[in-house]
Amino acid sequence: MENLKRGAAAIVGVAESDLGQVAISARRDLSAALRSLGARATPVVAVSSLPPPSGVEGLMQALEEHRAGLDLPARRLRARRAGALTNFANEHGERGIRALGGRTAARNWLDEQERALDEATLVNFLERRMGR
């Protein structure tokens, strides 16, 4: 749910939608909870595998729309940079983070580095920067 608060896209599936009122209530309650979190655009899809199966097409469509909206290169870049900072902090602790000027300064500095750098190289750069 924390990711939903930050605006991360998601899909919520309600399985066993053939259970009648219980499934209808679950779907309604999930939709209301998502709206209260500001995630109004998050689809809640009811799915049942019992013959005749239902909701599968809607789920597939929601997944395809979600995938099409992802900026995978940007997500991978953020993950590499976050991983580098986490590895650096695990190795050098808060003292190392403070030597970089704090987490925000370290993140900002990482954002200025070449996009193609891998996580290990970024950690090495952080270690060199700490030594200044």
Where is pLDDT greater, at 8 or 87?
87
Confidence of residue 5 (pLDDT cuts 50, 70, 90): very low
Read off the pLDDT of each residue in 3-30 and give the average, rounded to a whole number: 79
pTM of the model: 0.57
**Quick one: pLDDT at residue 70?**
84
Phi, psi of 46 (to 5 degrees): -90, 130
Q: What angle do CA 117, 73, 65 make, to 5 degrees?
A: 170
> Each residue of 46-93: pLDDT tens digit?
999 888 889 999 999 999 988 888 888 999 999 999 999 999 999 999
**Quick one: pLDDT at residue 7?**
47
CB under 8 A, 24+ apart: contacts of 116-123: 117/80, 118/80, 119/80, 119/83, 119/84, 119/87, 120/84, 122/80, 122/81, 122/84, 123/84, 123/87, 123/88, 123/91
Domain range list for the chain: 2-69, 72-130
**Quick one: pLDDT at residue 91?**
95
